[in-house]
Homo-oligomer: A and B are copies of this chain.
Amino acid sequence: MDPDISEVARRAGVPASTLRYYEKKGLIASTGRHGLRRQFDPDVYERLALIQLGQAAGFSLDEIAQMFAGGAPQIDHAQLAAKADDLDRTIRRLSAMRDGLRHAANCPAPSHMECPKFRRILKAAASGAFRPRDGSPA
């Protein structure tokens, strides 16, 4: 028997409301109804995993829907490489921040403003060095 929405929710760890939302967005499809109730093909689990993976990679649901658009998932290699580069920039930015935070957490200066390193970082922030590029998460 094909799983119903609560079964999919339980097994995939995704709330039923989210599954309905994904269906409306065209990210997943139900195979039919049993009365009112949706029934899902077990393939939906793979779909959901792809969605979660895509999200983790920083793709929006709309972008993910595009990938699913043509039958079997078509994922453009250039698009993947571009997203990898986005991630790389984000990682570098976050790494710099993390190092700055670690320093500030251990800095012996009485106030952060008296620490030269902090002031240097602050100046970088003022000049926009840490502004996320478009396409970066957060």
New A-B contacts (13) at CB < 8 Å, excluding given A52-B128, A58-B138: A49-B122, A49-B125, A56-B97, A56-B130, A57-B97, A72-B113, A73-B113, A80-B101, A80-B104, A83-B101, A87-B97, A94-B137, A138-B138
Residues of A within 8 A of B (CB): 12-13, 45-46, 48-50, 52-53, 56-58, 72-73, 75, 77-78, 80-81, 83-84, 87-88, 90-91, 93-95, 97-98, 100-102, 104-106, 111-113, 121-123, 125-126, 128, 130-132, 137-138
Interface centre among A52, A73, A81, A101, by most chain B C-beta atoms within 10 angstroms, is A101
Question: Which chain B residues lie closer than 8 Å to A49 at the CB level?
Answer: 122-123, 125-126
Closest Cβ neighbor of A124 among chain B residues: B53
Give me the 4 closest cross-chain CB pairs, A-B, nearest first.
Answer: A137-B138, A56-B130, A49-B126, A53-B125
